[in-house]
Structure 1
Amino acid sequence: MNLQQLKYVRAAVRNDLNLTKVAQELYTSQSGVSKQIKELEAELKFEIFVRRGKRLVGLTKAGQSAAQVIDRLLRESDNLKRLSQQFAQADSGRLVIAATHNQANYVLPPVLVRFSEQFPDVDVELRQGSPRYVVDMLVRGEADIGIATEAVDGHNELETIPCFSWKHVVIVPPGHELCRVTDLALEQLARYPIITYSPDVTGGSGIVETFARAELEPDIRLAAMDADVIKTYVQLGMGVGIVAQMAADNGSRDGLVTLPGSSRLFGPHSTKIAIQRGNLLRNYTYRLIELLAPHADVDALRKGKPISSSKTPDRILSFEERPDLKFGPRNEVCEDRGSGMPFGPPPARIETGIANHIEVVHD
């Protein structure tokens, strides 16, 4: 029995028993994978997989238990490697972050600037995708840490830590007639064509539900996957935009303004950190968690204690209460009322200072 055989079994389970994908993932041949699994079964004296001809079609009862044990063994093997790295290279290495578009674009930049200053020898790989993609990356052990709002809760394999709460806001071009409204209501907003997130994106379905609860049917003129696309079409005058607060406050300078008080129209969401349960993390990964969630009991995490057993604050701070997550000062430029808030530019350091240490991958 060897670790490679165990890795083949784990990969087969994770790839829905498709040995072609297993071979591609582990850079070997399909016949080699099949042979190694059979040799392991012979040594264990029971079959792990149910077969139909040469195809794997399921796990035997014994195989289901074996798969769980194998997953734990490989996780502890990875922890042993990390422990070695902790002592050999405490402040250098590679950190893989899986995050959704909003978190990668509008939350992580100021955090990663500070992180890179503290750990200049750590290379960061930032992988962007849907909430489901973030979960898959973590469960498969391909990311050290995940950052998302949806999908990360309710998984036995994952431990989650709330970072901050946030809401959606309304954005318009300067001079838009809604700038003159002092107390915006959903009924007023529903009279305009709306550009917002697709239902598949975090909070997208919740926006439609907010109108439905008020017995209103919004005119969703265009639904997009990310805030940058939404803002482009708002600039073109196609409609009023609804985006996440951080996309409004930390986005690029494009002349659009946020309607004051519009966040009260929508329900709150919570951005969370997710890590694989039971994983030993590198010291710098714990530091990133502290930067994202200063209230987190990182000492409990280091000792392997579940977050549920550690001390947590009575209330998680909102995005507005986290100046450490802001790119820079917010200028007021609502043409009619002088109270709209444009999207400020990211600091030059984000563009140049850490470019050599951060690799962004879009999925």
Structure 2
Amino acid sequence: MKLHQLQYFCAACRSGNITRAAAELHVSQPSISMAIRELENEFGVLLLQRNNKGFEITREGTYFYERAMVLLEQADELNQMMCDMGNQRKRINLGIPPMIGTFLFPKMYREFRKAFPEVMLNSREGGSRYLLEMLDDSTLDFAILPTNQLSEDAYNILKMTDTETVFCVSKDHPLANRETVSIQEIKEEPLIMFNDGFYQNVVIKERFEKEGYRPNILHYSSQFYTIREFISDGITGGFMFRDIAQAVPDIKGISLEDPLHIQIGLVWKKNQHMFHDAARFLEFTKKYVKSNM
């Protein structure tokens, strides 16, 4: 059993078609077919049942596919580790919630790319809970997250900046001329909120519950654009970081009477292997924070 045979077999299973698998891997169709036949002969089992439409994966083939995928992932991880030892990885996986990605990340991204054009900064958007799961699984090297409720016993945290979560309405809303509002005053306001798993969703609901109310949530979304449009069109109110609300002409951000301050930091796993380029990104971020925040 050879690694390329596993790659060919898994590509065929994924695509459901040997011709598409060959195109994906930039090899000939007979090479794919031969590799699969060699595996079947080696193990004495039928992995693919050929038919007029192409093939179906047998029970033995399904079993083999699932375990072959694990082996290929482990081989890729080992390859990345060894490339890093030779300073060849050239990729950083960074997780960012949508609002942080809007106001904090673009300038930071430009400056990093300017300093290290050879390193690909691959960003993934999602809620804090989802991004922490990806950190725990080592799918991400870092995440930029609200850190108010994160334990420094569980994660390394580099403080980056502070901001405030404010109640946001359209410029035509009756509350738009207010500097502060209480939870009681907005308890009936229709709201748009980020989906479960986003940190802001949690803290807003906690603040309402503390005052003895439940937020009147009209709509949930994971898309910042949707939330911004709902608020600016006067369909609902919502919550944003002050830095963002100030940059949107049709939206007014209003502080809560008991302000919601948010700490944002670069987060990474304790005791994880620090790739060469990840270490460079960490040092860059420390200098960036010192000079820009």
Structure-2 change in CA distance of 1:275 and 1:22 (3 Å): farther
| Aligned-partner Cα distance in 1 for 2:148–2:263 | 12
Alignment correspondent of 1:56: none
Alignment correspondent of 2:69: 24
Alignment correspondent of 1:66: none
CA deviation profile, 1:49-98 (whole Å, cap 9, x unmatched): xxxxxxxxxxxxxxxxxxxxxxxxx99x977753531xxx7xx9222212
CA deviation profile, 1:246-275 (whole Å, cap 9, x unmatched): 44245xx5x322234x15544333223222
Alignment correspondent of 1:181: 178
The 5 Å alignment of 1:50-69 reads none
Structure-2 change in CA distance of 1:21 and 1:216 (3 Å): same
206-215 vs 190-199, greater mean Cα deviation: 190-199
Which of 243, 264, 270 lines up with 2:263 in the alignment?
270
The 5 Å alignment of 1:186-197 reads 186-197=183-194
Alignment correspondent of 1:82: 84
Q: Secondary structure at the match of 1:279?
A: coil
Which of 248, 264, 279 lines up with 2:273 in the alignment?
279
Structure-2 change in CA distance of 1:229 and 1:266 (3 Å): farther
| Aligned-partner Cα distance in 1 for 2:142–2:175 | 40
**Cα displacement (A) at 1:167:** 2.6
Percent identity reads 15
Q: Is the 8 A contact 2:190 2:216 kept in 1?
A: yes
1:125 and 2:122 equivalent? Answer: yes
Alignment correspondent of 1:149: 146
| Aligned-partner Cα distance in 2 for 1:165–1:22 | 45
**Cα displacement (A) at 1:178:** 0.9
Q: Secondary structure at the match of 1:268?
A: strand
| Aligned-partner Cα distance in 2 for 1:269–1:19 | 48
| Aligned-partner Cα distance in 2 for 1:119–1:207 | 38
Q: Is the 8 A contact 1:167 1:263 kept in 2?
A: no
The 5 Å alignment of 1:37-116 reads 81-85=83-87, 93-116=90-113
Alignment correspondent of 1:50: none
**Cα displacement (A) at 1:110:** 1.1
Q: Is the 8 A contact 1:119 1:284 kept in 2?
A: no
Q: Which amino acid aligns with 1:256?
A: D
Q: Is the 8 A contact 2:165 2:240 kept in 1?
A: yes
Q: Secondary structure at the match of 2:100?
A: helix
Q: Is the 8 A contact 2:232 2:251 kept in 1?
A: no
Alignment correspondent of 1:314: none
Q: Which amino acid aligns with 1:280?
A: M
Structure-2 change in CA distance of 1:169 and 1:152 (3 Å): closer
Structure-2 change in CA distance of 1:198 and 1:280 (3 Å): closer
**Cα displacement (A) at 1:137:** 2.9
> 5+ residue gaps in structure 2?
1-62
Which of 283, 288, 292 lines up with 2:284 in the alignment?
288
Alignment correspondent of 1:5: none
Structure-2 change in CA distance of 1:129 and 1:249 (3 Å): same
**Cα displacement (A) at 1:234:** 1.7
The 5 Å alignment of 1:326-337 reads none
**Cα displacement (A) at 1:207:** 0.8
Q: Secondary structure at the match of 2:144?
A: strand
| Aligned-partner Cα distance in 2 for 1:170–1:258 | 8
| Aligned-partner Cα distance in 2 for 1:97–1:22 | 28
| Aligned-partner Cα distance in 2 for 1:109–1:226 | 17
Structure-2 change in CA distance of 1:165 and 1:23 (3 Å): farther
Q: Which amino acid aligns with 1:258?
A: K
| Aligned-partner Cα distance in 2 for 1:103–1:19 | 42
Q: Is the 8 A contact 1:167 1:269 kept in 2?
A: yes
Alignment correspondent of 1:210: 207
Q: Which amino acid aligns with 2:266?
A: I
Q: Pick the structure with more strand per residue.
A: 2
Q: Secondary structure at the match of 1:175?
A: coil
Structure showing greater Rg: 2
Name the TM-score, length of structure 1 as normaliser. 0.52
Which of 131, 134, 138 lines up with 1:137 in the alignment?
134
Name the TM-score, length of structure 2 as normaliser. 0.63
Q: CA RMSD in A?
A: 3.6
Alignment correspondent of 1:316: none
Structure-2 change in CA distance of 1:171 and 1:152 (3 Å): closer
| Aligned-partner Cα distance in 2 for 1:159–1:237 | 40
Structure-2 change in CA distance of 1:163 and 1:195 (3 Å): same
Q: Secondary structure at the match of 2:171?
A: coil
Q: Which amino acid aligns with 2:274?
A: L
